[in-house]
Structure 1
Amino acid sequence: MKVDNTFDKTELKESLSSAYALPLQSITFFPEGEDSYGYIVLSENGEKYFAKASTSVPNSCLQVASLLRHQCDISGIVAPLETLKGTLSVPWHNFQVSLFPFIEGKSRWDLWKVGKDFTDAELSQTAALLATIHGCTDAVASNNLTVATYDLPLRQELHRVLEAPEKIPAQNRYQKRLLEAIVQHRSEILQTLERYDSLGRSASVLQTPFVITHGDPTPGNLIINAENRLYIIDWDGVCLGPPEKDLVSFTGERFEVVLESYLAERRNPVRLHADIFGFYIYEWTLNEIRDYGTKILFKNNDAQQNEYDWESLQDYLPPNQELMEDGIAAVQNTLGRYNFLPK
């Protein structure tokens, strides 16, 4: 979140100190992330940690991150630390708070903000890490882990947003702008949803093997440190799903760099499908409309948070279906060069 919660940070620091047996000195709000509250935590001996307070991260996600780091020995995984009781989080009010090692470095998002990006070598390193994670599926798969479906998560929330202009009055200028935008672009959003559902039906028929996916290897969750080592953070969305669910974050002009490294690292055969990539390309847009729309209309109480959410929504209203179809065509063209297309 971009705006801090009001709970007492001194009490939180003391609770973490006790749970982890660490001499913590300070806790400072870190205004990043979408659905949780982050804090930089310093100890008296100079160690640095990241604390994350969330109401929505299942314990199974934290367990998988820990298993990937320790059982599979994947050093690029930033996993939660264990408490003295062996748990991976501590209760705090209505939150669960986890403590992570703090990674000093630049995220891909940090680089984007100043007009830079990962090098080809860093993208290759990212692809190899994802391939290693996907290859550990049999070693750490959990019966409690969410299994991806080819259907829109929280679909009812999207429909609630689309129906809002007829059901709720605007309480602030951001709600007013959003309700007007929904009226203007509702038919385009519904067309996007229809195409998404069509791609989902195609993806279901393909029956591709599922792997452990990070679920959100987007620029903010990829960090390169001073020694040029890659780390992947934020395991809120880990689930069993098709490898395309992770790889879709890298479609674009350098997709082939990622694909080549990914395939070289995967030790078991893999087939990738343009329709599954397309499904997740469309899902991203619909989820952003649903998520930011729900926050502005039904959740936010802070004007600064509303401003951030409204600005973030501008890339998706109206949904650019032409751009999404161009993206699918580019993926299909690249996959064709690797003999992934049907004969």
Structure 2
Amino acid sequence: MFAEPPDLDRAEVTGALHSGWGIAVAALDYAPVGYGAHHYRARDTGGAEWFLSVDLEPDVPALERAFGTAAALREAGLEFVASPVRRPDGRCVTVTAGGAAVSVAAVIDGRSHRFGDVLPAPVRADLLDALGRLHSVPVPPGAPVDPLTVPYRDELDGPWGDGPYARPARELLAARRRVVADLFVRYDALVPVVTAARDTWVVTHGEPHPGNVMLPAGGGLRLIDWDTVAVAPRARDLWMVAPDDSPATALYRLRWTLTDICAFVRDLRAPHADDADTRLAWRELSGYLTPAI
């Protein structure tokens, strides 16, 4: 997210780092990156730097399963897995007094990419190699399984709160309601087809787009942002990198679009201000729905 939440107490975040991981914070700065969770960079009193993810509406058990799976993959030898750091008790999440979920990873010294970047051919080859290794490992105990649902689907209906983008978003959604419904019809028809091949499912990252690919200064490749890890068809990853014409690829391409539409409607349906995040939500929602006249 690009705007720091005004009601999040930074003292609670630093307290979570100390109580969960024993990290004494000397400096904490907001990092306006990504969409969904909020992020911070911290420097501890020893000079080490940490990257924090803060989820304001967490499903803590789900986060623990995802991050625990990522940590297990790293511990099993997949060095490209930039997983959150386990606490001394083995967990990966600390919940603040205000209910936010904090996870922490070591800062990677290297070059990052943006979501819409085109990866150079050698980096794309390394990414495909990493995904091939990921898809070949035994499934860690307790790993999440993709339910093939569309998050926030129920957010397309319900009352609208106040905010500068509420009315235009409501009107746009109403005008394109049939288009969205048709997308869901296509998606729902693919679910049983993909489920029928469940015995071939593997561990997947879920969002291996360029924005989640980092190149450390010392060489190699790191995949970040493991809250979406799940057992699923290989196409859950490959549709972004090496798509084919399979039903699974069609399903995941559709689900990406539908999830974004539902998530942006959710953000704009709630009471909101005019900030970098709501402007992004409106711009992206318009981009998905305006061409479909």
TM-score by length of 2: 0.88
2:276 paired with 1:276? no
- Rate the CA distance shift 1:145–1:82 in 2: closer, same or farther, 3 A: closer
With 195-204 and 277-286 compared, the bigger mean Cα shift is at 195-204
SS at match of 1:216: coil
2:134 equivalent to 1:133: yes
Residue among 69, 94, 98 paired with 1:90: 94
Instruction: Structure 1: state its 5+ residue gaps.
Output: 256-271, 322-343
Amino acid at match of 1:303: D
Q: One-letter code of the match for 1:78?
A: A
Matches within 5 A, 1:101-250: 101-109=106-114, 112=117, 117-138=118-139, 140=140, 142=141, 144-158=142-156, 160=157, 164=158, 168=160, 171-207=162-198, 209-250=200-241
User: Cα distance, 1:130 vs. partner?
Assistant: 1.1
Shift of 1:197: 1.8
More helix by share: 1
Q: 2: CA distance between counterparts of 1:148 and 1:50?
A: 27
Contact 1:48 1:102 in 2 (8 A): yes
How far the C-alpha of 1:109 sits from its partner, in A, is 1.0
Distance 1:37 1:201 in 2: 35
Q: Does 1:287 align with 2:259?
A: yes
Q: Deviations over 1:259-315 (max 9, x none)?
A: xxxxxxxxxxxxx861110011111111111000011102x5331032121112233
Equivalent AA in structure 1 for residue 274 of structure 2: A
Deviation of 1:51 (Å): 1.2
Deviations 1:161-215, CA, capped at 9 Å, x for gaps? xxx5xx54x7333111111111221111111111222222332344451111111
Aligned partner of 1:330 in structure 2 is none
- Amino acid across the alignment from 1:41: A
- Per-residue CA deviations over 1:247-268 (Å, capped at 9, x if unaligned) read 11125xxx5xxxxxxxxxxxxx
1:4 corresponds to 2:8: no
Deviations 1:22-59 (A, max 9, x none): 33211111112222111101122321110111213521
CA distances 1:220-241 after superposition (whole Å, capped 9, x unpaired): 2111123342111111111111
Judging changes above 3 Å, is the alpha-carbon distance between structure 1 residues 18 and 147 closer, same or farther for their aligned structure 2 residues?
closer
- Tell me which residue corresponds to 1:22: 23
TM-score (norm 1): 0.76
Letter in 1 for 2:2: K
The structure with the larger Rg is: 1
SS at match of 1:301: coil
Q: How many residues align?
A: 286
Gaps of 5+ in 2: none
* C-alpha contact 1:188 1:318 (8 A) present in aligned 2: no
Contact 1:223 1:231 in 2 (8 A): yes
How many Å apart are 1:86 and its aligned residue?
A: 3.3
Give the secondary structure class of the aligned counterpart of 1:173. Answer: coil
Tell me, yes or no, if the aligned pair for 1:81 and 1:99 is still in contact at 8 Å. yes
Question: 1:90 Cα deviation (Å)?
Answer: 1.5
Q: Establish whether residue 296 from structure 1 lines up as the match of residue 268 from structure 2.
A: yes
Shift of residue 151, structure 1, vs aligned partner? 4.0
Within 1, Cα distance between the matches of 2:113 and 2:72? 25
What corresponds to 1:265 in structure 2? none
Could you tell me which residue of structure 1 aligns to residue 65 of structure 2? 60
Structure 1 residues 42, 186: closer, same or farther in 2, change over 3 A?
same
Paired residues of 2:150 and 2:255 also in contact (CA < 8 A)? yes
User: 269, 285, 289: which one pairs with 1:313?
Assistant: 285
Q: Distance in 2 between matches of 1:151 and 1:7?
A: 30
Distance 1:301 1:129, change over 3 A: same
Task: Flag the 1:207–1:47 CA change in 2: closer, same or farther, 3 A.
Answer: closer
Distance, in Å, in 2 between the alignment partners of 1:105 and 1:12 is: 25
Q: Quick one: distance in 2 between partners of 1:124 and 1:26? A: 37
Inter-CA distance 110–42: structure 2 relative to 1 (3 Å threshold): farther
- Given that 1:192 and 1:319 are in contact with CA atoms closer than 8 Å, whether structure 2 keeps it comes out as no
Does structure 1 conserve the Cα–Cα contact (< 8 Å) formed by 2:198 and 2:233? no
2:289 alignment partner, SS class: coil
Q: Which amino acid aligns with 1:132?
A: R
